[in-house]
Every structure is written in C-alpha cells, then in structure tokens.
Amino acid sequence: FFYFSETHGISFRIQISVKEVLDTDVLLKLLFYLPVNYPSTVPDISVTSDQLTRVQCMDVREKLLEEAKKHLSEPMVHDLILWVQQHLKDVIKQSAPVCNERTTLSKGTEDGIWMLLLHLDHMRAKAKYVKTVEKWASNLRLTGRLMFMGKIILILLQGDRSSIKEYLILQKTSKVDVDSSGKKCKEKMMRVLCETELQSQHKRFQMFEVKEYSAPEELQKEFETAGLTTLFSEFVPPLLK
C-alpha cells in the first residue's frame, strides 16, 4: 500500500518480521504517514501486530516517535525500521507484563474491531465513486454498507482499527469524485459521524454491500438488524431534517 498526494504527503504500509522476540517471530504492521513538510516534521506512525497487545503496540509507537525526533530534517523511515528490528525485544520487556491466558485469548483481536460511520454530501460521479469505495473496503478487508436514502449517503465500515485509519486517509486524500466542471476532485464534504470500538451487542457485517433504501424506516431497520439502534438514533435523524 503506497499513496502519494501533493497536499497531504505520502502514506505507506510496511510489514516486517522481527525474530526471537518471546521465542516467536513477531509480524509488525507499520503505517507511516509522511506530511508534506517531512522530514522537517516527524511522520505519524501506526503500529499493529497480532502477536502483541494493544499496550505493547502503543509503547512501540511511542518509542518510534521519540526516535523519529532525533532524526528531524533527515529521511528517517529506513532508520526507524532498523531501530524497531533491533530494539523491539527491549521495548516489549519494559512494557506492562501480560499473563499468558490473556495473550492467548486476545490474539488477533487485541487491536479490536472498530466501526466508522461517515456522511457524504454528494457523489457527482456516482458509479466511479462507488467502485472506488468497494475496492478500498475489499483491499483493507473492511465490511459494512454504502447506504443511499434520498439525498443521504452514509458509509458504515467495520474492521481492524489500522485499516479504518487507512481508509480515512484514502477517502480524504484521493481524487474520488468530479467537481461541477467535471474535473477530478477530492472529497471535501465528508463528515466522520462516529468512530468507535465494536461492542458485544453490535453484530459484525459479513461483507461490504452497496444498498439503496426508499424510506427512513428501511434504513433504520438495517441499523437495528446490526444491533446499531443507538448509532442510528444519535446520528441519522438530524440528517433527515
């Protein structure tokens, strides 16, 4: 995954395997978001791993950001990757100890499944826009719905928190639509209505689907079926006015 934008800088994801940590290989997923004025500004970094707890991932991220500050004004991504390969063991040792049972239970879910609800103002190039959203959801293994009801357009996504964050970067920085003169343009009229961890009462969507609803009741039913009645009542009625 690699993305370049003149106004938002560069985003890219790297997977590295670090050996001999806790007697196992640890696969780290690093997402670097380099602002336009990089390397005068440190990159934003997201760290996820199925083998580490969320606290450990946060500790690794904090240490990487500290390290990044030492390399200001020089390209640093390569150095940061080398640093994490050499020091991961030490960071994890200092991290809060976790009992084995908890590690086993939370393996693969430690970063939690997150949910994102977006509101779009309009889609001029609807067919192309829909295809793009479907492709991103598929690539990032996100499930959910792209919902059309009258003039209301909502995108509801579920998946790993890092994938949700990547989706947001793509949605904000890619030329997904066209303006009134037909020129490609970025999404300027998007609002994040809600970004939260999935709770036990929420149901997981099995796939990503595009749906059209003819009445608010149909839309409400979609939310209720997924155990998201509260989400609907909090964010959707204001849009219906």
- pLDDT above 50: residue 223: yes
Q: pLDDT by residue (tens digit) across 169-183?
A: 888 888 888 888 889
Asked if residue 157 and residue 90 are part of one domain, the reply reads: no
| Token pair recorded at residue 218 | 């149909």
- The answer to whether residues 29 and 48 touch, using CB atoms and an 8 Å cutoff, is yes
- The answer to whether residues 202 and 228 touch, using CB atoms and an 8 Å cutoff, is yes
3 occurs within a structural domain: no
Residue 82 belongs to domain with CATH number = 3.10.110.10
**DSSP assigned state of 14:** E
108 occurs within a structural domain: no
Give the pLDDT confidence score for residue 132 in this predicted structure: 94
Asked if residue 168 and residue 131 are part of one domain, the reply reads: yes
Give the pLDDT confidence score for residue 81 in this predicted structure: 92
* 195 confidence band (pLDDT: 50, 70, 90): confident
Asked if residue 118 and residue 90 are part of one domain, the reply reads: no
Give the pLDDT confidence score for residue 198 in this predicted structure: 84
Asked if residue 225 and residue 136 are part of one domain, the reply reads: yes
CB neighbours of residue 58 within 10 Å: 13
* 186 confidence band (pLDDT: 50, 70, 90): confident
Give the pLDDT confidence score for residue 187 in this predicted structure: 84
| Token pair recorded at residue 129 | 């826009």
Q: Provide the Cα torsion 191, 46, 138, 4; round to 10°.
A: 80
Name, in order, each residue with C-beta under 8 angstroms of 152's C-beta and a sequence gap of 6 or more.
119, 219, 236, 239, 240
Asked if residue 54 and residue 125 are part of one domain, the reply reads: no
- List alpha helices for the chain, DSSP H: 54-70, 77-94, 100-106, 126-139, 161-173, 216-225, 229-235, 237-240
Asked if residue 118 and residue 89 are part of one domain, the reply reads: no
Asked if residue 119 and residue 222 are part of one domain, the reply reads: yes
Residue 218 belongs to domain with CATH number = 3.30.70.100
What is the domain range of residue 41? 10-95
Asked if residue 214 and residue 150 are part of one domain, the reply reads: yes
107 occurs within a structural domain: no
Asked if residue 232 and residue 118 are part of one domain, the reply reads: yes
* 167 confidence band (pLDDT: 50, 70, 90): very high
Q: Does residue 114 or residue 96 have the better pLDDT?
A: 114
Asked if residue 235 and residue 120 are part of one domain, the reply reads: yes
Task: Give the residue among 226, 217, 9, 233 at the shortest CA–CA distance from 115.
Answer: 226
Asked if residue 157 and residue 42 are part of one domain, the reply reads: no
- Mean pLDDT, the chain, as a whole number? 84
Q: pLDDT by residue (tens digit) across 101-139?
A: 333 333 334 457 899 999 998 998 899 999 999 999 999
State the pTM of this model.
Answer: 0.55
Structural domain total, the chain: 2
